[in-house]
Amino acid sequence: MRIPFAEPISPRHIHIKNRKVHLLVPVVGGEEISTDNTCKSTMALRDFFDGGAIRELNAYKNALIFDIGLLETDNPLRQEKEDRFAQIESYIEALSAMRYSYIPALNRYLEKPSNLYSIQLRPKEQNSQSRVVNPAFSLIRKNDASGMPLSPLFNAMHETFPNTRIGLPDPRLKLSRAVLSVLSESPGFEEIASVLTDKCKEHFKLDIDFTVEQQHIDALMGFGPTQPATTENYIDALLGKCAPDMWVTIPKPASPFYSLPAAMPVNERTERLSIITQFFLSHLNVYCKAKGIATENFGAILDASSTLSKDLVKVISNALSLGDSVDKAICAFCNTNKVSFKLSRALNEEDVTAIQQKFECTWRIITATKENPYFDDLILLDKEASGKAAPFVTHQGSICVNFAEIVDAIAASANPDYFASVRADFEEHPVEIPSRNEGIASEVDVDLEKLVTTINEEQIKYLPQSVQNTCRRHPDFQVRQLLQDVAKGRQDEAEALLAASETKQALLQTPGVFTDYSGRTFYCTAYEYAYWAKDRHMQRMLESHMDENTKAQMLIRIDAIEANGLRYQQNGREHCSAHFDFTPLKKALQAFVDGNDRWYRTGNWRVIRRARLAVGKAQRDVPAHVAHEYCRTDRSFYPTPSFNEMTLPRVLMYNNCETGRDGYWFPLRASDSGLGFDFAFIRDARSMLFLGGVPDCSPADIDLAAIIQLDKVRTADLTQSRENLLPPAISPSVTRQLSPSG
């Protein structure tokens, strides 16, 4: 049977190269320029380090576990997948260690020279959340005591631009000037036509045939000895004859400087021109730094000189009034003031064109979205850089950095050589990292009998639907599924499986190996686990599907449990007990109740935290049905419930009041974070389960009383369980009915 592998080809954040796993950290959304605002990029990074990346890695790891189980030990593919599995484990460990230290680690890396350039503009209305590390271009953003901006460039723009008349660029005039600028002093007709052809191609990307006889033009226009033609006359005549519709087909100027509506209010137009000017200057600055032409912050240079700032703004205003290229005017100004800007060489025509193209392209990108309405801070990626000079890359719509580049020494301490090898492997890479990991094997031949004995109910989702159906009908798989459903409190699913089975007595009688939510691994039947866990509602459901023979066998088994306990393994150690013990949870709650008032009065938050987390650690170990009692929404823990309801809502969901998102008690998020490490659960009189962060001074006496009552009632329920398994003729209730005193 051909089975597709589960290992994903296009996983989030994960890139495979030379059998090395590379984890790519999304620094900000976008490819050439950031498209996320500060808040959104901060939240995306927080989600990545606060569990998002670990969830993706765990999903990848689980897919690898499935694939490895399909392969024989001598299969080379198995070795490759086991190798990637080990690498994924290294990332999970390092990410967990960096959960609270990723911001300084990333900032330290951003301070280094790279192909990523931060820019911070100076809008009139500033975003107070704007934070930039080592900006390549920036203006002074502070105001003086009277509220006047301290940036000379900003002030110069806001003084001059309100009175600037924006002239519409005349493409005919632009073309004529370009032709005249390169013609000889007394050009002939053929030279004029040739240069005109070249300039139409250069400026407007138009191939126009100006092949026409001079005599024809002279006759058409009346040029002759009495009315000699000037060079300008011949240019106009050639355009009129050979390209009469040219001005209709020429697109409007692409420069953002000429993109503002004529009806835009003056104050709004002034602010927009200021932002566009700063945006162009930042691109000019970044280009010069990337090409080694300059090393300084041009914004800082301009803000250090009111004269230089005013002169630049005057040049921009004049260019706008004439409809000339503002971009070229600014570049020419920098060349004129080469010393002030500390340029190593003058900008040439190729430089100016490259800057213009990047400027126009990125302006279209950022104005196509409303993510960054204030234009405070942006990030530019130099996609022409390569190798070691290009640690930042694009991947799946974000600008990213390799996690191995920012991992700190503490997080990498368990495997420093591995992360060093990842960095070495990533030295040569494209700037655009493909989403697909090519070379991952797609499928394998598997024997069905082996498949059903190795796959579990979490892994079956990786199989095609037809194979899933075949597995679900197999008796061995059904036994394991029943055991998992019971251990994880999935009562409806377990009952549906039994109701549909033609061999349900065999399912109920067959023991197997399974693990519950708390990591306890048992070898027993489904009923034995429910009895050990004191899950009354699950026991009653299972009993309702038993015939007398199955009940008799279960009675023998629970008597053995009462006498000898039920063995299980947890965290590498073997345990044996007759039932789940509520004592650790009750003790933790009691300790919190005893000390809470005193600790709160003295402000001993450290002890409060420790006591609260002790409750959370005990809550990690409760069977699913105890968590269900906490999470049910139809009643709280006050007043103390009787816990005698006929049904138990099998709900594990809660609302995280800190994030506003829904979460789940089980499965546990990680072995060293989440419940018991960051928070504990509190129910008391609230209508819903409450995530108690730390420090938290909420009283625990209501929860303590409820848990004591739950333990008492569920322990008493075990007597009824044993009675339900007795043959009818010797059932205690029947015996009472037949006794003489009855």
Mean pLDDT (10-residue bins), the chain, 742 residues:
92 95 95 82 89 94 94 93 97 93 93 94 87 92 94 98 86 85 93 94 88 91 90 92 81 79 92 97 98 97 98 97 93 98 97 95 84 78 91 95 96 94 94 92 86 83 89 91 97 97 96 96 98 99 98 98 98 97 98 91 90 95 98 93 97 78 87 88 80 60 96 98 89 48 40
Q: In angstroms, what CA-CA distances link 658 with 351, 672, 692?
A: 50, 20, 10
Whole-number Å distance between alpha carbons of 360 and 31 = 15
The first and second tokens of residue 389, run together, are 């000079």
Q: By the 8 A CB rule, do 22 and 388 touch?
A: no
pLDDT at 447: 86
Terminal alpha carbon distance of the chain: 65
Tell me which long-range contacts 640-644 makes (C-beta under 8 A, separation of at least 24).
640/702, 640/705, 640/706, 640/709, 641/706, 641/709, 641/710, 642/709, 642/713, 643/709, 643/710, 643/713, 643/714, 644/713
CA-CA distance, 711 to 724, in Å (whole number)? 20
Contacts 24+ apart (CB under 8 A), 216-220: 217/189, 217/241
* Spatial separation of the C-alpha atoms in residues 634 and 333, rounded to whole Å: 73
Length of the chain: 742
Residue 654, pLDDT score = 86
- Indicate if the alpha-carbon torsion angle 311, 316, 319, 321 is positive or negative: negative
pLDDT of residue 735: 44
User: Are the C-beta atoms of residues 728 and 734 closer than 8 Å to each other?
Assistant: yes
Strand partners, 445: 2
Cα separation, 670 vs 673, whole angstroms: 5
**Single-letter residue type at 317:** S
Contact 302, 152 (CB under 8 A): yes
- Under 8 Å between Cβ of 103 and 366: no
| Residue 508 and residue 525 in contact, taking contact as beta carbons nearer than 8 Å | yes
- Measured on CA atoms in the order 118, 124, 130, 133, is the torsion positive or negative? positive
Stated as kind and residue range, the H or E segment containing 654 is strand 653-656
- Per-residue pLDDT at 657: 67
CA distance 626 to 584: 14
Pairing, β 377-381 against β 2-4: unpaired
Q: What are phi and psi of 647, to 5 degrees?
A: -125, 155
**What does the pLDDT read at residue 737?**
45
Identify the residue whose tokens are 């953002």.
256
∠ Cα 496 498 500 (to 5°): 70
Pair 433, 394: CB distance under 8 Å: yes
Structural contact between residues 489 and 538, judged by C-beta atoms closer than 8 angstroms: yes
pLDDT value, residue 369 = 67
According to the model, what pLDDT value does residue 571 have? 94
